[in-house]
Structure 1
Amino acid sequence: MNQKLKTSIAFARNLFVTGAISETSRAVEVDICKNIPKEGSPVIVEFGMGHGNITRQILESLPPKGKIYAFEVKSSFCEVVREAIKDERLIIVNDGAETISQHVEGPIHAVISSIPFSFFGKEKGEKIIQDSYDLLEKDHFFSQVLYTKHNFKKFQRVFEDCKMTSNKNMFTEYIYHCKKLKSTHMVNCE
């Protein structure tokens, strides 16, 4: 059985975890990764690694000294990617996006996400967005692919600059590019 069919079956069996029945399109992979810094040693966080198609694009875009923390709740998906992608810049985290602060100290330079916010409770979704914002370096992006426009306001409540694009070939795939414009470094005023 070819890999695309295996992936579609695995995603369909785990619909409420993956939020998808197939991998994202190539156009989305490229678009969602367009704001990854191309120089230095950026730290990238991926939520919803799946079988690694966006992960591969992140690694292709990432400079040699960069690193990616790829979060995935399904252990079997983590094993598939461990076997398929051998790259020392990739750190696989078998845990949920809501635990980002436990695994990544920050600052981070991009968040690339394909997790299904529509299936999360309000508090969980807000925590993921806020914790990511807090760790994200100023002038960097949280990019999210979803199959609905309904979650856009959740991002607008936290990020100062949010734009939404859609794939012309796949009208149900929306990509949110949300930029952090403010610094969140605390100043001690005592």
Structure 2
Amino acid sequence: MASIPLKKHDNVAGSFWSQWSLFFRQFVRHPGMIGSVIPSSAVLVDRMLDQVDWRSTRLFVEYGPGVGTFTRSILDRLPADAMLIAIDLNPDFVAWLEAHIADPRLRVVHGSAADVRRFIREAGHVEADYVLSGIPFSTLPDGVGAQICAETKAALRPGGSFLIYQYSRFVMRLLRPLFGEISDAMEWRNIPPCRMIRATREEELAQAA
């Protein structure tokens, strides 16, 4: 059983309001990068992470961790010998995570999800078991979303999954040319209701003898 990540600040109430304040300020400044003024609900977090086979997970990657709404729950489930790479373009979110979550399994990276394979190599790994993303693909500049999806597929092990939570189906048009197995469900109890998409990289066929 993985240990619960240590928090550097003991004032839980103060940390909560500081977290919400940072999230709201960043939404006002960069609404296209964050997608929603309200962080994901616990119900959505649980449903997304319940899709993961945690016992076989050694590398989990998260795009756009923000203030750690998913990050903390991932660490709660992650095996003790596994790693989580959290990638965010926003330096304020990177600083927040580094200041508030002290866990040796967490590696916070300031950069683009399009560089995921480089970040995986720099962390000493070859491929990821799962990649989770809340990036609002419909608001990304032309070509960036397609690049991120292609790089993510290349970064996943055969049989690995790209888990995406979105408020629109836009990303489906980017996934279909790349992934053969895609599922799409709704979580109506989230505010606003959220799509839960899973795209799995096909297993490599065994070569004939």
Aligned-partner residue type, residue 38 of structure 1: W
Q: Percent identity?
A: 19
Shift of 1:67: 0.3
Q: 1:135 aligns with which of 143, 155, 172?
A: 155
Q: What is the CA–CA distance in structure 2 between the aligned matches of 1:112 and 1:40, rounded to whole Å?
A: 16
Map residues 73-112 of structure 1 onto 2, 5 A cutoff.
73-105=89-121, 106-112=126-132
- Structure with higher Rg: it is 2
* SS in structure 1 of the partner of residue 161 of structure 2: strand
The farther-off stretch of 46-55 and 4-13 is 4-13
* SS in structure 1 of the partner of residue 55 of structure 2: coil
Q: What is the CA–CA distance in structure 2 between the aligned matches of 1:119 and 1:104, rounded to whole Å?
A: 26
Instruction: Tell me whether 1:144 sits opposite 2:164 in the alignment.
Output: yes
CA contact (8 A) 1:69 1:92 kept: yes
CA contact (8 A) 2:19 2:67 kept: no
Instruction: Tell me whether 1:123 sits opposite 2:143 in the alignment.
Output: yes
Instruction: Tell me whether 1:183 sits opposite 2:199 in the alignment.
Output: no
> 4+ residue stretches of structure 1 with deviation over 4 A?
none
CA contact (8 A) 2:162 2:199 kept: yes
Size of the aligned set, in residue pairs, is: 186
Structure 1 residues 80, 63: CA separation in 2 closer, same or farther (over 3 Å shift)? same
Hey, what does 2:188 align to over in structure 1? Answer: 168
CA contact (8 A) 1:37 1:109 kept: no
Q: Provide TM-score, normalisation by structure 1.
A: 0.89
Shift of 1:154: 1.4
Instruction: Tell me whether 1:44 sits opposite 2:65 in the alignment.
Output: no
CA contact (8 A) 1:108 1:135 kept: yes
Q: 2:45 aligns with which of 29, 53, 78?
A: 29
State the Cα deviation string for residues 148-178 of structure 1 (Å, max 9, x = none): 1222121122111111111122363111011
Aligned-partner residue type, residue 183 of structure 1: E
Q: What is the CA–CA distance in structure 1 between the aligned matches of 2:99 and 2:112, rounded to whole Å?
A: 21
Q: What is the CA–CA distance in structure 2 between the aligned matches of 1:5 and 1:50, rounded to whole Å?
A: 11
5+ unaligned residues in a row in structure 2: which ranges?
1-13
Structure 1 residues 41, 31: CA separation in 2 closer, same or farther (over 3 Å shift)? closer
* RMSD value, Cα: 2.1
